[in-house]
Amino acid sequence: MCEGRVCAVTGAGRGIGRGYALMLADQGAKVVVNDFGGARDGSAAGGANPAQDVVDEIVAAGGEAVAHLGDASSLIDAQAMVELAISAFGGLDVVVNNAGILRDRMLFSMTEDEWDTVIRVHLKGTWASSRIASGYWRDRAKGGKTNDARIINTTSVSGIYGNPGQTNYGAAKAGIATFTLIAAEELGRYGVTCNAIAPGALTRLTEDLALPDEMIARFGPEWVAPVVTWLASPQSADVTGQVIESSGQILGIAEGWRRGPHIDNPPIDPHDVDSIIRELLAKATPRTKMSDL
Task: Name the DSSP class of 254.
Answer: P
Query: Of 169, 236, 246, 247, which one is the catalytic site residue?
Result: 169
Active site includes 173?
A: yes
Query: Of 129, 134, 161, 173, which one is the catalytic site residue?
Result: 173
Active site includes 145?
A: no
Residue 195: strand pairing partners = 152
Query: Of 156, 158, 236, 246, which one is the catalytic site residue?
Result: 156
Active site includes 136?
A: no
Positions marked active-site: 156, 169, 173
